[in-house]
Amino acid sequence: MAILRKLLLRALSLIAVVLIVLVLVVVVLGATGFSDRILSSVISEEMRAVRQQLAETIRDPQELERALREQRRELEAFYGLDKPWYVRLPQDVLRVLTLDLGEARTVATAQGSKRIQDIIAERLPRTALLFTTALVIYFLIGVWLGTLLATRPGSKLDRVLSYFAAVSFALPSWWTGILLILIFYFYLGGLLPAGGMYSTPPPEGGLARFLDLAYHAILPIFTLVLVATGPLMYVARTITLNVAQEDHVTFARAKGIPEGLVRRRHILRVAAPPIVTGLILGLVGSIAGSITTEIVFRWPGMGQLYFQAVSGQPDESLIVALTFVYTMLYALARFILEILYLILDPRVRY
Amino acid sequence: MESVLKVILSSGVGRAGLALFALLTGISVYVLVSYPLDYGSRVWYNPAVWADNPAVKPPIWAKPGAVPHSVFLQEEPTEVRKASTGERRLYRFEIPHPYEKPPDSLSLTLTEAVYYSRPPLLTVSLTRPDGRSVRLYRYSPPAPRPGEEAPYVRHRDSPHRVDLGADPQVRAQVSAFLRDEYGLRLSANELRGRLMEILFGEPTSPEERGGPAAFRPLPGTYALEVEVTVFDRRDRIGALQAVRGGETFGWMGTDSLGRDLAQGLLFGFPVSLIIGILTSVLATLLGASLGIMSGYLGGRVDLLIQRSADVINNIPGLPLLIFLVFIFGSNLFLVIIPVIVFFSWPGLAIIVRSMVLQLREGQLVEAERSLGATRWRIMFRHILPQVGPYLLAQLIFFAPSAILSEATLSFLGLGDTSLPTWGQILEGAFRTGAVYRGYWWWVVPPGLLIVITAVAFMLIALSLEPIANPRLRRS
Amino acid sequence: MAILEVRDLYLYYETPRGPVHAVDGVSFELPEGSALGLVGESGSGKTSLGLALLRLLPKNVDTYKGSIRLEGRELMELSDEQFRREIRWRKIAMAFQGAMNVLNPVVKVWLQIAEPLLLEKTPRPQARARVEELLELVGLSKDVADRYPHELSGGMKQRVVLAAALVMNPKVVILDEPTSALDVSIQAQIMNLLKRLKRELGLSYIFITHDIALASDLCDYLGIAYAGQIVELGTSEQVLLEPEHPYTQGLLESIPRLRSTRLPSFIPGAPPDPVDLPEGCRFRERCPKAFERCTEMPPLLQGKGAGHEVRCWLLAGR
Ligand SMILES: Nc1ncnc2c1ncn2[C@@H]1O[C@H](COP(=O)(O)OP(=O)(O)O)[C@@H](O)[C@H]1O
Ligand code: SF4
Ligand SMILES: [Mg+2]
């Protein structure tokens, strides 16, 4: 029961965070006049079309101007521009919360839907594919290497990999991606593709398509793994090393427990919860990494979408929706890891 | 403070980090004293400055034996001949060209022409190693405007530059040259993009040729001659500059606008260090003050600070960073650094708070309080110094992530364009597809510098692990 | 007959500054069913001796040699695997110092106690029953079995550690400062428990402590440790009533006594650096009775008769 209460509390506070972020985003958009500017430019664009239409039917210039003014007023009411932002935006928050995310201005799905819901439904799995695969791989490698190094601190391998960890802390994922493109695409004569999710044209047939997807995913996943493994490895190593020095480990050995079991049950098992904490702390970086990696490899996921939404012709609805979805995603990932932590560590269970 | 330095120096990692940091600082100081502060807008983002440079060329050390980039400047004529009215002044540029290939480009720039009656006339020709001379180009500065008084000053602020490898006039002249000297008939249009190959070469013989006209390189010394005919002895020419565009350029090559990457990269040093240091100092100050306040004052203030810290801690940084910089603009000091600071302080505040809670019960503070010291005095005179070493260690931890955050924003095109940074150089490279074309000199060095700078801080931070993470201190 | 016989046991640790002489030629005998108290200041190598007896060597071990005979069998000849299977916990168990950190924080108490049993393929219900029996034996309720260590108080943890040490019916139990982390009332409870267990189960103890008064309460024999060596060894009566070594005398004078107006006096100074030991007698720098010979040569352990042995030049003359 205690554990359920604890989980509920965490869930509530993460939901609160999502809410606060959403409100923050909306207030910033409103208070800076950004929202108004974007809406009026949307309206002006639509008015141009309307003007052309009306000009064909209404000949009298005065009549035309009046009709246009009427039209504009209707559009303003439609978009809510006739009300101040602090009246209009709470509705936006509620709208977003009910997952009615509005329409994108230029981006559309493969089927041509402009509803942001559909767009995100199309892109989220792509981002998740890249992100989760990388997460699983770097988690396995990082923890394996880190705990391995902890068995021989000060060895040559240990020192080399410690420096690697420091460097990989400092390695921006996007630059790593660029370097990998330079090597595997340019210098190795197109051994691996420089970007995209499928070849053009995509191959026919399920298996061929899947292989093509995997082929395109190699470099982005490799990038994310390369960048995230070092820090996690370092954390895992330090924690394992600390646990291995604790008294209960000697106690276990004194009991005549074979070394393999000592390592598994009395070192790694005890090191697991703080390693999960390390993973939680690395999550922010991983999300950032997945955004920039998508951009570098032109992977059509949410990160690239976000980039499109802020560059060129900015798309307010898309920005709000994506900030919201990313915050949700992060909260969700964090929540899952925290459940894992609770399962692993009896000390925080009540 | 001293103890912190001792800890850094006691480990190899720390010494390496400190040495790197000293090197970076040295370079930054050099750049700060030798570069103008408005370098970004005045030089880096000003295309006129780079007009003479070849675009996307690798560094000179990368291609030994390549045609180097050479600049020839003359402020005084080599020879002056009197004429019936005025003078003929000859500017002669000797261009040694012992290479088996033509240069990338050849350009001439006239800076400042002052005349009193009629505009001077410039005639440009090229004398080749085989003794043949080609007339290339003629030019007169604009004539006096109605109502303008002598002396007439031209091209003082906007120098007149002619690309001798692409100018239509030159093409027409060379077409005539080929016809007269070799009997080759090539129209000015057909010469598009081939001028250098022709000027710095000779046609292959007809039997070799067979097909369309081909040219083989003609190594030797070339002379570019500019004859300036003035109609008043008082007339003046400021300077003439000839530039032979190389296949390589400078120590770090050029980008697609011909910008000298060495300069941009150098300017990145102080910017990056300032971002790292300023952000970490601000984040530490903010985190420490809020942490101390939270721990010492308790009550509602504590609750408020801890809740805010918790919320910010649970926000995925980059999406919000992108959003805020996008909305508030890319000013480095007014937006980017404050926003990074805003996302950095919570972790520190939480830890400092728990340290303060322990210290608050300490005897020293107890004694001070009984002597009637104010809360603020106790906070800043007694508690701050005690958490000091820890804060110093934290400070260094903040720097690398600040540097990386700024670089990431720049890479996304949200950087402050008044200052060139490594991230922006990379953004330009990526946007123009340098990666796919293998322009490694444009892509590798800026990223490497970002990594090196972050690693310098990282190594120092790693060596401070015993202070920052007391759990590790025991044997 | 002695159940445990230790001869010239050495355990040095390697450090960047040189070897640490933690156990430096220690010999003693432990008769079956008796308790030997090992008394010495912190750092004198008491824990190291316990670890050496269980062959629990850290990575940086420099020298490990000597003879350990258990029921007449030479343990030093056993392979590591044999030692682990046959000796640890089955013959010699150890209740570690600082019970706070001795238990694995993420494993339930009963599993930690039953671990060696389960490893031998004892069926779980039987192992569970044995654990509950042991818990009751050390004065804990059965439901402690399903708790995690962080749910227990210091005294309870110490009892759990004791129960764990008894699970395989060992002959010898090494008790490393079993009470030093506990407050006085609980300390007394644990001491009574130890006495009872010794009586009921016929255990032999090596009782490690820095508190000579505590040792005298429980032990039949006392060994006084200083800088890795035993400086005085004998029955409790011999050591307490006729202490010969100046260090032992100092220790005894530092005990506060109820029926005495004399204030307890403490031995001035600190033990020597175990890497850089003084020449001659190791106690020399703190000894009130030191004379020339003490600086020249290290004294040897000298028999005084009836098993009472002392390492001091003062005895050599007689
Ligand atoms: N693994 C080790 N490496 C180096 N020195 C050690 C190690 N373990 C203990 N020591 C040193 O050996 C000496 C004896 O320690 P210990 O046996 O714990 O003494 P005690 O239990 O009497 O306090 C101390 O000086 C201690 O610092
Ligand atoms: S040998 Fe000398 S110094 Fe050592 S205890 Fe005896 S009297 Fe004191
Ligand atoms: Mg000890």
Q: What is the pLDDT of residues B4-27, one digit of tens each?
A: 788 888 888 889 899 999 999 999
Mean pLDDT, residues A252-281 taken together: 91
Class of domain A123-314: mainly alpha
Q: Which pairs with CB-CB distance under 8 Å and at least 24 residues apart come from B175-180?
A: B177/B134, B177/B135, B178/B203, B178/B213
Enumerate the β-bridge partners of residue C250.
none
Among C9, C10, C14, C20, name the best residue to mutate to test ligand 1's pocket (greatest count of ligand atoms within 8 A of Cβ): C20
Q: If you ran DSSP here, which 8-state letter would residue B260 be given? A: B
Structure tokens at C307: 């098993």
**A252: contact with C, CB 8 A cutoff:** yes
Specify the pLDDT at position B47: 86
- Find chain A residues with C-beta within 8 A of B310's C-beta: 13, 17
Interface contacts (A, B; CB < 8 Å): 138
Report the candidate in C264, C265, C267 with the shortest Cα–Cα distance to residue C286. C267
Q: What is the pLDDT of residues C193-214, one digit of tens each?
A: 999 999 999 999 999 999 999 9
At A161-201, the pLDDT tens digits run: 888 888 888 899 999 999 999 999 999 988 889 888 888 88
Residue A141: closest CA among A68, A237, A266: A237
Say whether C105 and A250 touch across the interface (CB within 8 A). no
pLDDT for residue B207 is more than 70 = no
Query: Do residues B153 and B81 both lie within one domain?
Result: yes
Q: What is the mean pLDDT of chain A?
A: 87
pLDDT tens string C14-60: 988 899 999 999 999 999 999 999 999 989 999 999 999 999 998 88
- Give the pairing of strands C92-95 and C172-176: parallel
Average pLDDT of span B389-415: 88
Tell how strand C204-209 and strand C172-176 pair up: parallel
Q: Name the pLDDT band for B474 (thresholds 50, 70, 90).
A: very low
**C309 within 8 A of C301, measured Cβ to Cβ:** yes
Residue B412 in domain: yes
Output the average pLDDT for chain C.
90
Q: In this complex, is the C-beta atom of A94 within 8 Å of any C-beta atom belonging to chain B?
A: no
What distance in Å separates the CA atoms of residue A35 and residue B242, rounded to the nearest whole number? Answer: 53
* Among B201-215, C26-40, C274-288, the least confident range: B201-215
User: Ligand 3 centroid vs B1 CA: distance in angstroms?
Assistant: 35
Last residue of a domain, one of B245, B269, B288: B245
**Adjacent-strand bridge partners of B109:** B161, B241
Substitution target from A85, A162, A174 for chain B, most B beta carbons within 10 A: A174
The answer, yes or no, to whether residue B92 has pLDDT greater than 90, is yes
Cα separation, B220 vs B463, in Å, equals 59
DSSP secondary structure code for residue B121 in this structure: E
Return d(Cα B75, Cα B237) in angstroms, integer: 8
Question: Residue A238 and residue B438: Cβ atoms within 8 Å?
Answer: no
Distance CA C278, CA C269 (A): 14
Same domain, B270 and B241: no
Could you read off the pLDDT of C124-141 as tens digits, one per residue?
Answer: 999 999 999 999 988 899
Distance C224 CA to ligand 2 centre (A): 14
The two beta strands, B79-82 and B87-97, are antiparallel
CA distance linking residue C66 with residue C6, whole number of Å: 8
More confident residue, B395 or A123: A123
Of residues B395, B358, B364, B393, the one with CA closest to residue B381: B364
Are both B130 and B206 inside the same structural domain? Answer: yes
Q: What is the per-residue burial (b if ≥16 Cβ within 10 Å, else e) of A313-338?
A: ebbbbbbbbbbbbbbbbbbebbeebb
DSSP B41: I
- The residues pairing with C28 across neighbouring beta strands, listed in sequence order, are C6
Domain co-membership, B7 together with B147 = no
The share of chain B scoring above pLDDT 90, in percent, equals: 44
The Cα A249–Cα A237 span in angstroms is: 16
Identify the burial level of B415 via C-beta atoms within 10 angstroms of its C-beta, where 0-12 means exposed, 13-18 middle and 19 or more buried: buried
Domain limits for position B177: 70-245
CA distances for A17 relative to A328, B312, B317, angstroms: 9, 8, 13
Indicate if B463 and B360 belong to the same structural domain: yes
CA distance C39 to C214: 10
B229 and B272, same domain (yes or no): no
pLDDT score of A38: 78
**Portion of chain A with pLDDT greater than 70, in percent:** 99
How many residues make up chain A in this entry?
A: 350
Banded pLDDT at A310 (limits 50, 70, 90): confident
| B131: alpha, beta or left? (left if phi > 0; alpha if psi -120 to 50) | left
pLDDT of residue B340: 92
Under DSSP, the state recorded for B442 is H
Q: How far is the CA of B64 from the centre of ligand 3 (A)?
A: 69
Residue C262 is predicted with a pLDDT of: 65
Q: Does B64 fall in a domain? A: no
Question: What are the residue ranges spanned by the domains of chain A?
Answer: 2-97, 123-314
Q: Which atom of ligand 1 is nearest to the CA of C41?
A: 22
d(CA A167, CA A230) in angstroms, rounded, equals 8
| Sequence-distant (≥ 6) Cβ neighbours of residue A139 within 8 angstroms | A232, A279
Yes or no, beta carbons of C89 and A254 under 8 Å apart: yes
Domain identity same for B96 and B224:
yes
Q: Is residue A107 pLDDT above 50, yes or no?
A: yes
Q: In what order do the strands lie in the sheet with B121-127?
A: B79-82, B87-97, B220-230, B121-127, B133-139
Neighbour count for residue A49 (Cβ, 10 Å): 9
**pLDDT the model gives residue B403:** 93
The pLDDT-based confidence of A84 (bands split at 50, 70, 90) is confident
Distances B209 to B7, B132, B180, B203, B206 between C-alpha atoms, Å: 75, 21, 19, 8, 5
Show Cβ contacts of residue A209 under 8 Å, excluding neighbours closer than 6 positions: A198, A202, A203
Rounded to whole angstroms, the Cα distance separating C103 from C157 reads 8
Look up residue B19 and give its two tokens.
Answer: 């040495």
Q: What is the pLDDT of residue C98?
A: 72
Q: Is residue B255 situated within a structural domain? A: no
Please name which of A231, A229, A283, A321 lies closest in space to residue B318, comparing C-alpha atoms.
A283
Tell me the pLDDT tens digit for each residue of A216-247. Answer: 999 999 999 999 998 899 889 989 998 998 89
pLDDT recorded at residue C259 = 64
CA of A112, closest CA in chain B: separation in Å? 26
The percentage of residues in chain C with a pLDDT greater than 70, rounded to a whole number, is 97
Domain assignment present for B253: no
On whether the CB atoms of residues C43 and C208 are closer than 8 A, the answer is no
Q: B284 in a domain, yes or no?
A: yes
What is residue C74's predicted lDDT score, i.e. its pLDDT? Answer: 95
Eight-state DSSP code of residue C88: B
Percent pLDDT > 90 in chain A is 33
Decide if pLDDT at A43 tops 70.
yes
Q: Are A236 and A143 in contact (CB under 8 A)?
A: yes
Q: Is A245 on the interface with C (CB under 8 A)?
A: no
**Taking CB atoms and an 8 Å cutoff, what residues of chain A touch B454?**
169-170
What pLDDT does residue B93 have? 93
Distance of alpha carbon C218 from alpha carbon C162, whole angstroms: 16
Q: What angle do CA B90, B91, B93 make, to 5 degrees?
A: 140
Q: Are B425 and B264 in contact (CB under 8 A)?
A: yes
| Helix, strand and coil in chain B, % to nearest 5 | 50, 15, 30
Q: Where are the alpha helices (DSSP H) in C6-139?
A: 46-53, 80-82, 109-119, 124-137
Domain presence at residue B49: no
Mutation target for A interface from C49, C102, C103, C106: give the one with most A CBs within 10 A: C106
pLDDT of residue B209: 58
Report the half-sphere exposure of B16 (CA within 13 A, side-chain side). Answer: 15
On the question of pLDDT at A318 being above 90, the answer is: no
Please report, for residues B10, B328, B397, the alpha-carbon distance to residue B345 in angstroms, rounded to integers and kept in the order given.
29, 20, 12
Count the neighbouring beta carbons within 10 Å of the beta carbon of residue B70.
15
Q: How many domains does chain B have?
A: 2
Omega before residue A201 within 30° of 0, cis: yes
Q: What are the tens digits of pLDDT across the range B77-86?
A: 999 998 887 8
Taking the CA of residue A132 and the nearest CA in chain C, the distance in Å comes to 28
**pLDDT, tens digit (0-9, with 9 covering 90-100), for B29-75:** 999 999 998 898 889 998 888 888 888 889 989 888 888 888 999 99
DSSP B210-255: -SS--EEE--EEEEEEEEEEESSTT-EEEEEEEEEE-SS-TTT-B-
> What residues contact C29, with CB distance under 8 A and at least 6 apart?
C2, C4, C5, C6
Within a domain: B39 = yes
Give the whole-angstrom CA distance, residue C70 versus residue C172.
Answer: 9
Query: Region C222-245: what's the mean pLDDT?
Result: 94
For the residues of A296-325, what is the DSSP string, one character each? HTT--SHHHHHHHHHSSS--HHHHHHHHHH
DSSP assigned state of B80: E
Residue C278 CA to residue C255 CA, distance in Å, equals 27
Residue B471: band (very low, low, confident or very high) from pLDDT cuts 50, 70, 90: very low
Would you call A252 helix, strand, or coil by DSSP? helix
pLDDT at residue B468 tops 70:
no
Partners of A186 on chain B (C-beta within 8 Å) are 435-438
Identify whether residues B38 and B166 lie together within a single domain: no
The answer to whether residues B310 and B457 belong to one domain is: yes
With vertex at residue A235, the alpha carbon angle to CA A233 and CA A240, rounded to the nearest 5 degrees, is: 95
- Who's near C92: CB < 8 A, 6+ residues apart? C4, C53, C54, C70, C170, C171, C172, C173, C174
| Same domain assignment for residues B120 and B268 | no
Q: What is the pLDDT of residues B311-321, one digit of tens each?
A: 888 888 888 88
Closest CA to C196 of C236, C159, C152: C159
Q: What is the mean pLDDT of chain B?
A: 87
Report DSSP state, residue C204: E
Q: How far is the CA of C275 from the centre of ligand 2 (A)?
A: 20
Asked if residue B470 has pLDDT above 70, the reply is no
CATH number, residue B346: 1.10.3720.10
B220 Cβ contact list (under 8 Å, min separation 6): B97, B98, B128, B129, B130
User: What is the C-alpha to C-alpha distance for residues C227 and C244, in angstroms, rounded to an integer?
Assistant: 18
